Structure 1
Amino acid sequence: MGTLQGEPESEQRAEVAQLRERLDALESENSALRGGRVRPAGARTRGAFAVVLILLAALLAPAAVVSTWVRAELVDTDRFVSGLAPLAEKPAVQTFIADEVVTAIEANLDIEAVVHDAIVGLGSLDLPPQASAAFGMLEGPAVHGIRSMLRTTVDGMVRSPQFAQVWEVALRQTHARAIALIQGDPASALQLSGEGTVSIEIGTVIAEAKALLVAQGVELAALIPEIDRSIPLVTSDSLSSVRTSYSLATAVGYWLPWVVLALLAGGIAVAVNRPRATLGAGLGLLAAFLLLIAGIGTGKIFFVSMMSPAFMPVPTAEALFGQVTLNIHAILVALSVLSGVIAVAAWLFGRSRQATAVRAAANRGFGGLRGQLDRMHLGTGAFGAWVDRLRPLLWFVAVAATVLSVFLTRPISLGSVLGALAWLIAGLLLVELLRRPVAPAAGKPGATQQNA
């Protein structure tokens, strides 16, 4: 009897010993893999190659954003107009444009000479001496009154709602003439100019002011000639450098973003630890975009110092720079948010203890929800098992579609990024609720574990 009772005890001890040995071996192997002492063949080379690709992508990402933005602003007239149209509502810009229009009109129309000739003409008439003397005394007030009316009319025009339409026409003419000049169009009236200054033409605004003055009964305004006057936006040493920059931006702005995307995908694909590589890519892109945002702030200081006071007042230069860079600033904020989300997602799928705990809690939560749905006779059956088998593929397709949708959106905005992320989260939640993990058959390895 003792022997019969002893055999099961010894067998149990042997099994326990074997289990302990196996557990120790697994823990040693896991610890070695975490510590980097056991690596697949070529892991070091693959890791170094992945780092190089991701680093190149992070370094080229700011250039890709800037070149894409410049290309869109240069090539697309509607984008150019919509980007600068809000300047018509900026008080600093309105005051500056009014000053420019008045200055241009007074420079091309000698108001004092015209009034003097009119007074002399009246004095030559056969009028009483008192009337001739009175006309002479009215010369100064007449000049002042005409100038005051000119200023009041122009100020009212640039602050009226109708000015937005005039400003839009001026912007479209500016874009057409600038592109014709940069591209070397023989029909461009500015073809012979060798200056590298891109300016906003305000001849349309001056013509509108002339029409308003004539409509108000100021016949003197009919003498205002056609005036070409412009507000400088960008200055360069020569026209050739502007043309070179234009050609480079239009070419690089098209293919460089695709190069960055390919470098990121390649770096993550060849990496041994893909979650860690994705985390590094997200953090690298986030740092690059934040640095570019800071660089725009520095560029504002440089732009204002270059344009003021030589070309325009400081408030006008600040308003102009802020409006010109508004779109790229919004793009960078959106891409920074996207990069941060990528980094967080990569951390959640990493091997850290905290990430593992978060995933385990999420799996338990989804498991409980699936159980409640099944008890409510809302189970997905065979379809759920099929979704569970294709879960990695479905996740990959959802993430890839989200990245491409953001990448192909022009212009990228915070709203488009958040919208794409919302659709991604909804899709992943739907997959988790629909899938039904199939429990392993009894007696097979992992039979006691839930496939969650």
Structure 2
Amino acid sequence: MEPSPVGQPLDESERAELLRLRRQVADAPAGQSADGTTRSEHRGLRWTATALLLVLVAILAYSAVLSRFARAEVLDTDRYIETVTPLAESTVLHDELAAQITDEIMRQANIEKVTNDALTALTENAPNVPPAVVGLAPVLAGQAQSFIESTVQRLLASDQFQTLWVEANRRAHENLVAVLTGDHAKAIQVDDDGTVSIELKPVIDRVKGALTDRGFSFASNIPEINKSFVIFRSPDLVKAQRAVSALDKAATVLPFLVLLVGAAAIWAAPKGSRRRAFSLFGVSVAIAMALLAISISIGRSIYLDAVPPDVMSTDAAAVLIDTLVVPLRTSLRAVAVLAIVIALVGYLTGSSTSAAAIRGAFSKGLNRTRGNASGRIPHPAEIYAARFRLPLRVGIIAIAILVLVFWDYPSGLVVMMTALIAVLALLAVELLARPAIGYAPADPEVDTTDQIATTSSTGADEQGT
């Protein structure tokens, strides 16, 4: 049906259609559209979409922190060395290494048997020496063991051991990376059963030299010892190749996906509730970090159970795993702090009664601090601050975000300091702009267009923030 020309009266069919549409709109209940869909149903659908997207945000945030850890710590040898270097000063690890090295030297050199044979030969060749002297073999072997262990401890406490520790861990980590990336040709120190270890031969060679220097001439008879210190053992290590490879590839993409999906979740929220969705975005990320912290604790228990007592003591294994996951815990804490800040900002700028009360108290405090009761003409800087208050806010927040994005490994302290500086900068803008808010110049030659726009936007900001 062709519509009637503009200005011409409606024909009978057009008028009937118009009346039908009017009746349909009039009969629709309040808050219901013409197609029968209520506003509450629209809001429910939007909140459902927002909730699903926020769940996806939590999953992506969890994976993003893990992937960054995989790239920065598991696959980056330099970062790994930076992490494990402090272990060279751990007394718990010193005791474990000293015990393992001493036991290996005693076993390889067979000192107790050699001592027993020497005393037996002495009694046979020297009639004046009673046969009971042979019973001193275990005592002499024990003294030799104490002497060797003290020599090992002295070496472990020296700067020389720190260099040896770094070199041994560098070789072990390069082999681990070879396994996780599938380069088996380089994985010399990673066994088929998933055992990752560091070589102790350089340390033992230095111990033998130290024993000789201290007058333990028997050290020259100690054979060459190839001893390794187990860091991790799991038959499923090779199976982790695919997961580590995927995490490595996703390390760059996932953080941006978190922001993209978070923006979609906020956009999907009903109008008037997007600041609440912004706050829930922060809550979702914080929950993801809490789950990651729980996962780390579970993984720690699995690791400790996977290390047999005859391979490493529980205390040494605990010190080792706690040191290795320090960067991961630092990252999740930093992200959790940022998420809490986002949640608070979303809450404080929302429309709830408590948030409005806090904003009201804050506004009164600013008015007392920088009032305009005296009627003085604001300084041009104050006028410009009031006029460009919104761009200044956006700029400060954008700079804070860029600092955190381009900071290689931001810690919780870095995030807190960045957030604190951003808050102080926002507060400074508010204090500077406060005397010029609502100011109207008396001079008619002054262009008041911008001032009116600033005043209007200020009122809207104060109602919405």
TM-score normalised by structure 2 residue count: 0.75
* 2:200 alignment counterpart: 202
User: Paired residue for 2:362?
Assistant: 362
Provide, for residues 357-385 of structure 1, a one-character-per-residue CA deviation record: whole Å limited to 9, x for no partner: 222232233234333698898x432x433
CA 204–376 in structure 1, closer or farther in 2 if over 3 Å, else same: farther
**Of 362, 386, 394, which aligns to 2:384?**
386
> Residues of 2 paired with 1:149 and 1:320: CA distance?
27
Separation in 2, partners of 1:183, 1:361: 57
**Percent identity of equivalent pairs:** 29
Q: Which amino acid aligns with 1:231?
A: F
Distance 1:190 1:307, change over 3 A: same
Aligned partners of 2:457, 2:364: CA distance in 1, in Å? 13
Letter in 1 for 2:379: T
Deviates more, 1:201-210 or 1:67-76: 201-210
The alpha-carbon distance between structure 1 residues 337 and 140, as it changes in their structure 2 partners (threshold 3 A), is: closer
Going from structure 1 to structure 2, the CA distance change for 1:374 and 1:48 (only over 3 Å counts) comes to: farther
Cα distance, 1:110 vs structure 2:
2.8
The answer for the alignment partner of 2:232 in structure 1 is 234
In the alignment, is the contact (CA less than 8 A) between 1:62 and 1:288 conserved in 2? yes
The aligned counterpart of 2:58 is 58
Q: Distance in 1 between matches of 2:261 and 2:243?
A: 25
Gaps of 5+ in 1: 1-31
**CA distance in structure 1 between the partners assigned to 2:100 and 2:374 by the alignment:** 74
Unpaired stretches in structure 2, ≥5 consecutive residues: 1-30, 32-36, 441-447
Which deviations, in whole Å up to 9, do the C-alpha atoms of 1:180-230 show, x marking residues without a partner? 444455763618942322233333332332222122232332344443333
Asked if 2 retains the 8 angstrom alpha-carbon contact of 1:122 and 1:132, the reply is no
Question: 5 Å matches for 1:56-205?
Answer: 56-112=56-112, 114-115=114-115, 129-130=127-128, 142-160=140-158, 162-185=160-183, 188=186, 190=188, 193-205=191-203
Separation of aligned partners in 2, 1:258 and 1:280: 18
Deviation (angstroms), 1:276: 0.5
8 Å Cα contact 1:102/1:154 also seen in 2: yes
Change (3 A) 1:447 1:396: closer
**Could you list the per-position Cα deviations for residues 40-82 of structure 1 after superposition, in whole angstroms to 9, with x for gaps in the alignment?**
9976655443332222111221222122112211222232122
Superposition deviation, residue 351 in structure 1: 0.6
Partner residue of 2:300? 300
Query: Are residues 1:425 and 2:423 paired?
Result: yes
**SS of residue in 2 equivalent to 1:240:** coil
1:134-181 CA distance string (max 9 Å, x none): 997876555444323212211333344653333223222221232244
Which SS does the other structure have where 2:396 is aligned? helix
Range moving further from structure 2, 196-205 or 41-50: 41-50
How many residues matched? 413
Cα distance in 2 between the residues matched to 1:38 and 1:371 = 47
**Cα distance, 1:133–1:226 mapped onto 2, change above 3 Å:** same
CA distance in 2, matches of 1:280, 1:227: 59
Larger CA deviation: 164-173 vs 414-423: 164-173
Q: Tell whether the 8 Å contact from 2:50 to 2:266 is kept in structure 1 after alignment.
A: yes
Q: Is the 8 A contact 1:54 1:281 kept in 2?
A: yes
Amino acid at match of 1:188: K
SS in 2 for 1:233: strand
Q: 1:211 to 1:248 in 2, by over 3 A?
A: farther
Paired AA for residue 167 in structure 1: W
The root-mean-square deviation of aligned C-alpha atoms, in Å, is 3.8
Query: Given that residues 200 and 233 in structure 1 are in contact (C-alpha distance below 8 angstroms), is that contact kept between their aligned partners in structure 2?
Result: yes
The 1:139/1:445 distance shift into structure 2, 3 A limit, reads: closer
